[in-house]
Amino acid sequence: MALIITDNARAQIEEMMKEEDQETVRLRFGVKGGGCSGLSYSLGFDYDVNEELDAKEEINGIPVTIFKQDIPIIEGTTIDFKQNMMGGGFTIDNPNAIVSCGCGSSFKAKEREGTPGEC
């Protein structure tokens, strides 16, 4: 699985995981329909892994789960965490996105366009 989690993102995710059951919690990253360009990213914590539907791997020390169907769309994606004067947030750089919207959380991929909606 070619997903990259930067050291800054890893530190933030580890801090957030402290509030979860660390024995079984995994970062779940994926794609869902919606957003003004048709697809948006899904990033959260999950405790369940479906061996048929999910791929799991440890990336930069973080246990990660991804729906297998999303892997071609997010192959090579970098998850980072950037801090600025207004606060901080995760950024996602996906080389497979052929169109991205101004909000930065919606995109369209060659393999799957999704259904545009509200940002």
Q: Which domains does the chain have, with CATH numbers?
A: 4-109 (2.60.300.12)
Residues 96, 78 contacting (CB under 8 angstroms): no
pLDDT per residue over 101-118, tens digit each? 655 566 656 555 555 555
Give the SS3 label for residue 58.
Answer: strand
- Rounded Cα–Cα distance for residues 1 and 4 (Å): 9
User: Do the beta carbons of residue 33 and residue 112 sit within 8 Å?
Assistant: no
Model pLDDT, residue 84: 81
Could you give the C-alpha distances from 61 to 27, 31, 34, in angstroms and in order?
A: 11, 22, 30
Neighbours of 20 (CB within 10 A): 14
Determine the Cα–Cα distance for residues 79 and 2; give it in Å rounded to an integer. Answer: 11
Write the pLDDT tens digit of every residue in 80-97: 999 887 788 998 888 888
pLDDT-above-70 percentage for the chain:
77
The DSSP call for residue 74 is H
Q: Per residue in 24-46, pLDDT tens?
A: 899 999 888 766 667 888 899 99
Is residue 47 within 8 A of residue 56, CB to CB? The reply is no
Q: Give residue 6's pLDDT.
A: 97
Instruction: Determine the pLDDT at residue 36.
Output: 62
User: What average pLDDT is seen over the chain?
Assistant: 83
The pLDDT of residue 117: 55
Other beta carbons within 10 Å of 93: 13
Q: Do residues 9 and 80 make contact, with C-beta atoms less than 8 angstroms apart?
A: yes
